[in-house]
Copies of this chain bind each other. A is one copy, B any other.
Amino acid sequence: MNIKIEKLVKQFAKLPRVGNRAATRIVIDLLQDKTGRAENLANTLLDVSKSVHPCPNCGVLTDCEICEYCSDPARKNGQLCIVRDLSDVLVLEKSGVFHGCYHVLGGNLSGVSGITPDDLNIANIKDRIQNENISEIIFALPNTVEGKTTQQYIIASIGDTNISFSELASGVPLGGDLDYIDDGTLTLAFGGRKKL
Query: Interface on A for B, CB 8 Å cutoff?
Result: 1-2, 4-5, 7-8, 11-12, 14-18, 22, 24-32, 37-52, 61-63, 67-68, 85-87, 90, 93, 106
Contacts and interface: CB of A to CB of B under 8 A. Distances in A.
A95 to B, nearest CB: 14
Copies in the complex: 2
A145 B15 CA distance: 36
B39 A4 contact: no
A46 B43 contact: yes
Nearest to A25: B16
Given A28-B87, A61-B2, A11 B52 contact: no
B49 A4 contact: no
Given A30-B45, A86-B28, A18 B22 contact: yes
A2 B87 contact: no
A8 B48 contact: yes
Given A2-B61, A30-B49, A67-B2, A41 B11 contact: yes
A2 B68 contact: yes
